[in-house]
Each structure stands twice: as C-alpha cells, then as structure tokens.
Structure 1
Amino acid sequence: MSIKTFELISTTENNVELISYVALPENAADDHPVPGIMVAPEWWGVVDHPKDTAEKLAKAGYAAVVMDVYGEGKLTGDAAQANMWMEQVLADQDMLMSRCRLILNDFSDQLAVDGDNLGAIGFCFGGKVVLDMAREGMPLKAVASFHGNLAPKQPADNNFSAKVLVAHGADDSMVSMDAVADFKKEMDNAGADYTVDVYDNAKHGFTNPHADERAAKNDIDLGYNEKAANESWDKMMDFMKANLS
C-alpha cells in the first residue's frame, strides 16, 4: 500500500514547536478516515526507527504519528544527551502529558484519522509515555509497550480503560522483573485488561535494529533480537486489529 508522510507541528502554550511525523495510507481521506496509532519513540527522539515504525503502520492501513515530546524535533545518537533530554521532560511530567495530549488532539483532528479509534505504541522511555497517557485517561483503546519503562506517573485507577500489551525482554538490565511484577499489581488493582509477554534472550531495546551499534558507542546494555522483535511486532499488530475496528 502506498503511503504519504508529513510533519505535524503542534505549538505549546509557551510557543515550543513539537515537530511530529505523520504517515498515512494513500487511500485515507476525509470521507474514509482510518484508525490512528500514536508512536512514542525511545529516548533518542524522532529518529529513523520510530519513523520506520510509523511507515510500517501506514502500509498496514493505520494513520500513525511519531510524537516529538522533546520539542523542536530534537534527536540524538548520544546516550548522555538523550538521558539529559529525557530527565528534563520527566522532571515535569504534567508538561510531558500536556504535550502528548496536544499532539493527540492535533493528530485526531486530521480528517483522515478516525479520532474515535486511537491506539498507541511506545519503545523504552516511550513505553512509559504511552502507558502514562492511558493512566491519564486519554482516549486510547489499546496501548502497547516494547521494552518500556513501566514506572507510573501516578498508578492506574478504575478509570483506566485502555487494553494493554507489554513486550519485555528477559535479559533487560534496565527494567527489572520486580518492576514488571509491580506493574502487574498496578494493573490488577485497576481491573485493567492487560497481557505481559517476556521474550527470552532479549535485552533492553530488542526491537531496534540499531541497538547493538548504540550499545557499543555508548557503553550501555542494549541489544537487538530479531526473533523477539518480529514476534512482538506480529502480536502487537493482532492486538491493534482486535481493538481498533
């Protein structure tokens, strides 16, 4: 399926431009809106991996937007820089969530997007972003996290309505199995509908083909696992199909 891509610029109330990246199926039009999927990238920003993800989603018939939560389209391959930017936005999580809500509203206002049928997927830091969007009660039907940070901005409560799919690597040294257990407790307490899949021999970042090179360059414990990446992607696509009609 042929697709079209463009930048979606959202301006915050203090005039920061959030430069998100949209991919749409060519046939998505005003009279034929399609379900939308928000994509929250890893801490590197709107780099190739999340853009490729959005394009894959568009080829599968979804509208997709990669959220620029840092603002000004900032991106990096340097872990120290990425960590600094991530810490900056995590220091003001209300601001982070208001940026996500702004992008969600601007994206769902696109005539080609069915605003009543929205999902979200996030990678690493982005996994936390999309789970927190659901915890904040944003109108997401389905949320998937890949090797995500599971720590909540505030715990989910009984207003939590999104279905959740979590793909976690068994060898992830950044998000512990204790964190996964805490997350399951949180979801159980909220009465949420969730699935956690743990992939063997998979490290943090296992879906990103650039993970090994990033690990070597930055001396951090990341690794790509093609089998886990493909299996978790297929599972996520089935999950979205089941929940976004």
Structure 2
Amino acid sequence: MSIKTFELISTTENGVELISYVALPEGASEDNPVAGIMVAPEWWGVVEHPKATTEKLAKAGYAAVAMDVYGEGKLTADAAMANMWMTQVLEDQEMLMDRCRLILNDFSDQLAVNGDKLGAIGFCFGGKIVLDMAREAMPLKAVATFHGTLAPKQAADKNFKAKVLVAHGRDDSMVSMDDVEDFKKEMDAVDVDYTIDVYDNAKHGFTNPNADERAAKNDIDLGYNENAAKQSWDNMMDFMKTNLG
C-alpha cells in the first residue's frame, strides 16, 4: 500500500513547536477516515525507528503519528543527551501530558483520521507516555507498550478506559519483573483489561534494530531480539485490529 508522510507542527501555549511525523495510507480521506495510532518514541526522540514504525502502520491501513514530545524535532543517538531531555520533560509531567494532548488533538483533527478510533503504542520511555495518556483519560481505545516504563505519573483510576497490551523482555534490566507485578496490581485495582506478554532472552530495547549499536556506544544494557520484535509486533497488530477495527 502506498502512503504519504508529512510533518505535523503543534505549537504549545509558550510557543514551542512540536514537530511530529505523520504517515497516512493513500486511500485515507475526509470521505474515508481511518483509525489512528499515536507512536511515542524511545528517549532518542523522533529518530528513524519511530518514523519507520509510523510508515509500517500506514502501510497496514492506519493513520499514524510519531510524537515529538521534546519539541523542535530534537533527536539524538547519545544516551546522556537523551537522558537529560527525558529527565527535563519528566520534571514537569503536566507539561508533558499537555503536549501529548495537543498532538492527539491536532492529529485527530486531520480529516483522514477517525477521531473516534484512536490507539497508541510506546517504546521504552514512550511506553510510560502512552500509559499515562490513558491514565489521564485521553480518548484512546487501545494502548500497547514495547519494553515500556510502567511506573505511573499517578495511579490509574476508573477513568482509565483503554485496553492494554504490554510486551516485556524477561532480561530487561531497566524495567524489572517486580515493576511488572506492581503494574498488574495497579491495573487490577481498577479492572483494566490488560495482557502482558513476556519474551524470553529479550532485553530493554528489543524491538529496535539499532539497540546493540546504541548499547555498545553508550555502555547501556540494550539488545535487539528479532524474534521477540516480530512476535510482539504481530500481537500488537492483532490487538489494534480487535480494538480499532
């Protein structure tokens, strides 16, 4: 399926430009709006991996947007820089959620996007972002995370309406199995419909083909696992089809 891509610029109240990346299926239009999926990148920003992910989603028939939560289209391959940017936005999580809401609104306002059928997927830091968007009761029907950070901005309450799919690597040294248990308790407390898939021999970052290179360059415990990446992607696509159509 051929697709079209463009930058979606959302301007915050204090004038910061969020330069997100949108991919649409060729047939999507005002007369034929399609379900939309938000993509929250890893801490590197809107680099090649999230862009490729939005394009892959568009080829599968979804409208998709890789969210620029840092603003100004900032991206990096340096873990220290990524960590600094991530820490900065996490210091003001209200601002972070305001930015996500702004991008969601601008994306769902696109005539080719069916604003009643929105989902979100997040990788690592982005996993926390999409779960927090659901915790904030943004209009998402389905949220999926890949090696996502599960710790909440604030614990889920009855306003959490999204279905959840978590793809977690058993060998993830950044998000432990204890963190997964805590997440289950949080979801169970408010009856969220969730599924957690744990992949053997999978480390943090297991879906990113650049993970090994980044790990070596930055001395951090990341690793790509082709089998886990493929299986978790296929499971996510089934999950979105079930919940978004």
TM-score band by shorter chain is over 0.9
Please state whether the residue corresponding to 2:130 is helix, strand or coil: helix
Aligned-residue Cα RMSD (Å) equals: 0.3
What is the aligned partner in structure 1 of residue 215 from structure 2?
Answer: 215
Shift, 1:190, TM fit: 1.1
What is the aligned partner in structure 2 of residue 171 from structure 1?
Answer: 171
Please state whether the residue corresponding to 2:238 is helix, strand or coil: helix
What is the aligned partner in structure 1 of residue 194 from structure 2?
Answer: 194
Shift, 1:198, TM fit: 0.4
TM-score normalised by L of structure 1 = 1.00
* 1:79 and 2:79 aligned: yes
Please state whether the residue corresponding to 1:228 is helix, strand or coil: helix
The residue identity in structure 2 corresponding to 1:88 is Q
Shift, 1:159, TM fit: 1.4
* 1:238 and 2:225 aligned: no
Please state whether the residue corresponding to 1:117 is helix, strand or coil: strand
What is the aligned partner in structure 2 of residue 90 from structure 1?
Answer: 90
Please state whether the residue corresponding to 1:38 is helix, strand or coil: strand
Distance 1:157 1:29 in 2: 36
Structure 2 residues not aligned, in runs of 5+? none
Distance 2:27 2:238 in 1: 22
Distance 1:84 1:75 in 2: 12
What is the aligned partner in structure 1 of residue 121 from structure 2?
Answer: 121
Q: Which runs of 4+ in 1 moved over 4 A?
A: none
Distance 1:190 1:152 in 2: 14
Q: Deviations over 1:182-234 (max 9, x none)?
A: 00000000110000010000000000000000000000000000000000000
1:1-245 alignment to 2 at 5 Å? 1-245=1-245
Structure 1 residues not aligned, in runs of 5+? none
The residue identity in structure 2 corresponding to 1:15 is G
- How many matched pairs? 245
Distance 2:159 2:238 in 1: 25
Distance 2:129 2:242 in 1: 22
TM-score normalised by L of structure 2 = 1.00
The residue identity in structure 1 corresponding to 2:219 is D
Distance 1:117 1:151 in 2: 26
